[in-house]
Chain A
Amino acid sequence: MTEVAQVQDSAAKPARAKGRTNWTISETRLQVSVSLIILALVLLAWEFLPPALDVPRYIIPTLSQCLSELVRMYQVEGLIGHTVSTAIFTVLGFVIGSALGAVIGYLLGMSAFWEKVLSPYILALQIAPKVAFAPLFIMWFGFNSAPKLLVSVLIVFFPVLVNVLQAMRTVDRDLINLARAYSLNRWQIFLKIEMPSTLPNLMAGLRIASTLAVIGITVGELVGGNTGLGYLIAYGGGQANAAMVFNAIFLLTVIGYLLYLTLERTEARVLHYIPKAQG
C-alpha cells in the first residue's frame, strides 16, 4: 500500500488502540440503540405477557399496574419519605461500615501480631450470617433505626476489612525498605507507601460493600420497623400487593445503583494515575 493510501486509510478509519476498548461514535450509537430495543421488548413483554398467560396480578403485575401503584404509593403511602429514609440509612451504613472496615484493616495490616491473634475471630464473624442478627438486634435495641443500621454496618464492614488487609499484606517490601533507608517514620511509610498501594483494593472493597449496604438496610426494615422500602415490601407482600413490592425493589435497586455509580466515579478520579488495562 502506498504512503498516500495509508494516510487516506487512516483518515477514513479512526486509529484504534490495541483490542476493542475505543468504540467509534457509530458503534456506540448502535450499542445504545440495541440496548434500548431490548429494554423496549422487555417492557412490552412485561405489559402484555402476564394477562395473555393468565398470570394473576398478585404473582406478576403488569408494567402499567406497577406504574399506577407507584402513583398511589406516592399519593397515599408516603413513598418519598420511605425512599429517602432507606437511602439515608443505606449511605450511613455504608459510610460507617466502610470507615470501620478500612481503619481496622489498616491497623491490623500494620501489626502482624494482632492480625494473627484476631484473624480466627474475624473469620468467624465474617462467616456468621449477619442478616440473621436483625431479630436479635431488635430485641436488644428496640424497634428503632439502630438494628437496621447495625446490620448494614456489619455487612459492609467485612468486605472492606478483608480487601484492605489483603492489600496491606502485599505491599511492595522493597518500597518500604527504600522508605526506611530515607529515614521515613512509621506514619510517613503508611501515608506515602502503604496507603496509596492499597487504594485500588480499598476501592474494590467499597464497590462490593455499596451493593451490600442496601441489603443490610432492607433486611432490617423487613424484620422490624415501620419506615423504609423494606417496610413497604413487608406491608405490600402482606396484602398480596405485588405491584408495591415490585416498586419497592425497583427503588432499592436505584439507590444501590446510584451509590455504586458514585463510587465508580470517585474511584476514577482518585485512581486516575493508574493506567487502564488494554484488550
Chain B
Amino acid sequence: MKSAVFAAALAVSAMVAGAAAAADQAVTYLFPAPEFLPAFAPFQLAQGKGYFKDAGLDVTFRAGKGGADVATQVAVGNADLGGGMGDTTIVVRPNGLEVRGVALLGGRGLTQLAWRTDRGIAGLADLKGKKIGVITYQDTAYYNLLGALASVGLTKNDVNIQAVGAGGLIQLTASGELDGFSGVPEWIAAVEEMGVDLDHMPADKAFPGMAQAIIASDKTIAERPEMVRGFVGAVMKAIEDIQTDPAKAAAEFVRFVPQHTGKEAQIEAIMRSYASNVYPAQDGVPMGAFDPARIEAAQKFYVEHDIVPRAVPVADLYNNEFVK
C-alpha cells in the first residue's frame, strides 16, 4: 500500500515537473508607440492567431516612448525584445547599448513625412521655419526627419520640431498648429479623415532609412536564441498573412484590437498600403533580413551630418540568423 502511494506521488511529481518544463516561455515585447497602431498589426495578428503560443511563447506587450527608448530598455534588461526601426541601433549602439536588430519588417522605409497642403510646402527645403511634429525625441522617426532635413542642408535648428505624442500629432496637424509631421503611414489617413489635405513622401526617398525592426540585446541573443527565433518566426508568418490577404488580415486585426471597430475600411486600406509599399523585401535580400550595405549607408549618412556622434562596426548592428 505504502509503495503504491509512493509511486503515485512520484508519478504526480514527474507530471507537474513535465508540465512546468512545457509551460510557455514568458516574453515581454516593448512597442515604441501605443500598441493598437496598425503599424504593429503583425504582432497583434501573431498574438491573436496563436503564432506566439505555437512557438512556445507567452508574450506580453508593453508600450515605450519611441524606438531609442525601447532600445535602451531592452539593453538594460527591462524588456526581452522591443520594436524600433532598422536605424534605431545606429542611434543607440555608439552610446554603449549592446542591442541589434534581429528582423527587419520590410524592404522599404517606414517613416513618412507629411505636411498640410495649405502651408506652401512643395518639398523638404520648404520645411525651413515650419512647425513639424514627432511623437517623442526618442523616436526613430525623429532621427529619420533629421536625416531627411540633412539631405537638403537643413538642421533641427532650421525647423521647429515639437514632440507632441501620437495623439497630439494627429490633433495638432488637423487643427493647424503643426504644419506637418514625421511618423507612420496610418497617421496620414487619420489626419485626412478629419478633413485635412496632406502631401507626403517616404523618408527613405531622401536618405536610406529602414522599416520597422525587432531589437534584441546581445545577451538575450546569446542566452535565449530559440525564444528570439520563435518570436521572429511568428511575426514573419503574420506579415505573410497580411501580404497574402490584406482584407482578411484587416478584419482579424480589428477583431483583436477593438479600438478600430467601425474603421474596417480604413484599416484595410492601411494593410494594403503596408503590403505593397513597406513589407516587400528589398531586391536580393531575403524577407526579414538586413542589408549590411544599406545599414552602412544609413550610418554613414547619420555620422556625416552629426545626427549620431560616431560609427560602430556594421556587423554589431544586426543579426540575420533568426530569419533564415
Contact = CB atoms under 8 A, between A and B. Distances in A.
A196 interface: no
Interface string B110-144: 00000000000000000000010000111100000
Interface string A221-232: 000111000010
What class of interface size applies to chain B in its complex with A?
Answer: 20 to 34
Contacts of B184: none
A234 B142 CA distance: 13
Interface in A216-265: 224-226, 231, 234-235, 237-242
Nearest to A68: B309
B177 A142 contact: yes
A143 B168 CA distance: 11
B164 A235 contact: no
B163 interface: yes
Contacts of A69: 309
A143 B8 CA distance: 70
A226 B75 contact: no
A238 B69 contact: yes
Given A224-B162, A238-B66, A238-B69, A58 B309 contact: no
A57 B162 contact: no
Interface string B7-19: 0000000000000
Contact of B68 (A56, A78, A240): A240
A58 B164 contact: no
Contact of A240 (B97, B157, B177, B306): B97
Contacts of A72: 309
Contacts of A241: 95, 309
A142 B68 CA distance: 25
B162 to A, nearest CB: 4
A208 to B, nearest CB: 31
Point out which of B95, B97, B136, B177 has the most chain A C-beta atoms below 10 A from its C-beta: B95
Given A58-B75, A72-B309, A78-B157, A239 B95 contact: yes
Contact of A76 (B91, B136, B162, B306): B306
- Give the secondary structure class of A's interface: loop
- Give the secondary structure class of B's interface: loop
Point out which of B71, B139, B160, B309 has the most chain A C-beta atoms below 10 A from its C-beta: B309
Given A57-B95, A58-B97, A224-B163, A240 B72 contact: yes
Contacts of B71: 240
A239 B72 CA distance: 7
Nearest to B309: A72
B96 interface: yes
B143 to A, nearest CB: 8
A223 to B, nearest CB: 9
A216 B136 CA distance: 21
Point out which of B71, B139, B163, B308 has the most chain A C-beta atoms below 10 A from its C-beta: B163
Contacts of A237: 138
Interface string A127-165: 000000000000000110000000000000000000000
A81 to B, nearest CB: 8
Given A76-B306, A238-B137, A238-B138, A143 B95 contact: no
Given A78-B157, A142-B177, A240-B71, A58 B95 contact: yes
A57 B309 CA distance: 14
A242 B68 CA distance: 13
B161 interface: yes
B91 A239 contact: yes
Given A143-B162, A143-B164, A242 B138 contact: no
Given A142-B177, A231-B137, A240-B71, 5 more contacts: A56-B98, A58-B96, A76-B306, A224-B163, A226-B162
Interface of B: 65-66, 68-69, 71-72, 75, 91-92, 95-98, 131, 136-139, 156-157, 160-164, 177, 306, 308-309
By Cβ-Cβ distance, the 9 closest A-B pairs, closest first, are A238-B138, A57-B96, A240-B95, A143-B162, A56-B96, A76-B306, A58-B96, A240-B72, A238-B68
29 contacts: A56-B97, A58-B75, A58-B95, A58-B96, A76-B306, A78-B157, A142-B177, A143-B164, A224-B162, A224-B164, A226-B137, A226-B156, A226-B162, A226-B163, A231-B137, A234-B137, A234-B138, A235-B137, A237-B138, A238-B138, A238-B139, A239-B68, A239-B92, A239-B138, A239-B308, A240-B68, A240-B71, A240-B75, A240-B92
Interface of A: 56-58, 69, 72, 76, 78, 142-143, 224-226, 231, 234-235, 237-242
